[in-house]
Amino acid sequence: MSKFPLYSNEFDANPFPFYKDLQENAPCFWSDDAQKWVLTRYDDIVNALNDWQTYSSAQGNLVDEFPGRAGNTLGSMDPPKHDELRAVIQSVFAKRNLTHLEEPIKATTKRIIDNNIGNKKHFDFAKDFSSEITFDVLATLLGLPDTNKEEACANALMMVQTDIKTRQKGPEHLAAFQWVKDYASNVIAERAKNLGDDAISQLITAEVNGVKLDLIQVELTVTTLIMAGIESLSGFLKMFAKNMANYPEQRAKILADMSLLPDAIEESFRFNTSAQRFRRCLTKDVTLHGQTMKAGDFVILAYGAGNRDPRKYENPDEYDVLRKAKGHLGLGGSVHLCLGNAIARLAVKAAMEVFLTEIPHFSQAEADDELEWLASSNFRSPKKLVFIRE
Amino acid sequence: MVQVVYIAHDGEQTELNVQEGWTLMQAAVSNGVDGIEAECGGACCCATCHIYVDDQFLEKIPAALAQEEGMLNEVVAERTQNSRLACQIKVSNALDGIIVRTPEAQS
């Protein structure tokens, strides 16, 4: 039995016992399945994130990377290049510039519930709710056209997956990547004719050290924003709603006091973030816990494991919305802290406040090991998440 | 390890032993110190890790570079001569015992 069966539905259904075993018995673990090292302890992951000179992102940050992507997106660049590019678009994603979106997101949420869920006893939270909300938020933020919505969502979801047999991106994943990239290229070309104050316009006009970005960098950065926007936000919404379904006594606390929602969101980022794993590449040999990792080796930083490290959090396997989870890795960390962290927090709070008001009591229709999970080596979320209204 | 004292706007004090080479922001965030948001993760482009460095340590810290100077104009709380961004200050032995205060608001 593999200690880290990254490419299996069993692992997706419940990776936490595997993480725990590695944390205790092999904290610096060479995975034959992934052909990469795996770090699972909180302190080791934070050290790696802070030491970006040693744990470089420039060879790609996706556990299974796309050809030609590394070095052309924010997440796959190291400082100082990374910081210069991030500075260009950070303001679009800054909390202080987003508060005006809260009420429109709430209104959209109400409309989506009325249109897609209504009085249905059973509904698919993924299809009926989270993917629609997510596209809407992203479209507002990036100024995306309302056309091709379903295709964009389907391709964004496909591109983050991996063929579980070949353990690489298969033709369908590469085709989805290409589709999203072409979609991004079209949006960029249109936007260039009519610039605004959105993130894409900022990327088109940005100059770093007096030089405009290469078109490929703009294209791949926008492709990543679309992928992250659709998949990550939707994935996290699903995991948060899943926690609400699975822990009714915790949900009751929020129903009694909605001001606890932000704390519950932080606890969900800790407890079962959808962004479970990212990768780095070593720029020099590193010896850790008696193992020597060589320069050029890839290392998986298992954020989802670090978030359950008992050295960091008391009773880590307990979902406790009153915990006030601080310092979690649910949005990554250090210079690669999720660019969309503020919009993610705001959108999830706004959407779930409305959702829980409209549908306060619900449970999950299928057990976790019966769910079909996204076949992704980075992300963890169910493809379909049916709830039963109670 | 270097001792760092963070004092929140309401007076709450947190003492941390920080690894040399880490920034004051990194130590605060991973240890859950309230009052530092660090939305950009330390890329010096969000102005939400604003701190006031205690007078006696100000001169021991290298002066702000142009990017930090620019971002200090964006802080939402009052900017004073003690204002710095925590993500730009690396902890070293020379700063042992440093006291920093966090402002009333970051965003």
Q: Between A and B, how many residue pairs show a Cβ–Cβ distance under 8 A?
A: 61
Q: Is there a contact between A90 and B41 if contact means CB atoms under 8 Å apart?
A: no
pLDDT of residue A264: 98
pLDDT per residue as tens digits for the range B44-65 = 999 999 999 999 999 999 999 9
Residue ranges of chain A whose pLDDT lies below 70:
none
Chain A residues touching B42 at Cβ < 8 A: 334-335, 337
pLDDT of residue A238: 97
Q: How far is B64 from chain A, CA to nearest CA, in Å? A: 16
Q: How far is A53 from chain B, CA to nearest CA, in Å? A: 12
pLDDT of residue A3: 93
Query: What is the rounded CA–CA span in Å between residue A364 and residue A157?
Result: 22
Chain A residues touching B22 at Cβ < 8 A: 50
Chain A residues touching B38 at Cβ < 8 A: 337
**Chain B contact present for A208, CB below 8 A:** no
pLDDT of residue A20: 98
Whole-number mean pLDDT of chain A? 94
Query: What is the rounded CA–CA span in Å between residue B98 and residue A300?
Result: 35
pLDDT of residue A229: 85
pLDDT of residue A119: 95
pLDDT of residue A143: 85
Among A46, A83, A337, the residue with its CB nearest the CB of B44 is A83
Among B26, B43, B107, the residue with its CB nearest the CB of A86 is B43
Q: How far is B42 from chain A, CA to nearest CA, in Å? A: 5
User: Which candidate in A50, A82, A278 is best for mutational testing of the B interface (most B CBs within 10 A)?
Assistant: A50
Mean pLDDT of B11-24: 96
Rounded (10°) CA dihedral A249, A387, A315, B40: -110
Could you give the residue ranges of the DSSP H alpha helices within chain A? 9-13, 16-25, 42-50, 81-89, 102-112, 131-142, 149-159, 171-193, 199-205, 215-227, 233-246, 248-256, 261-272, 303-306, 341-358
Chain A residues touching B46 at Cβ < 8 A: 90, 94
Please report the ipTM that was assigned to this predicted complex.
Answer: 0.94
**pTM score of the predicted model:** 0.94
Among A95, A326, A337, the residue with its CB nearest the CB of B41 is A337
Structure tokens belonging to residue A285:
């040999």
DSSP designation for B78: P
pLDDT of residue A254: 98
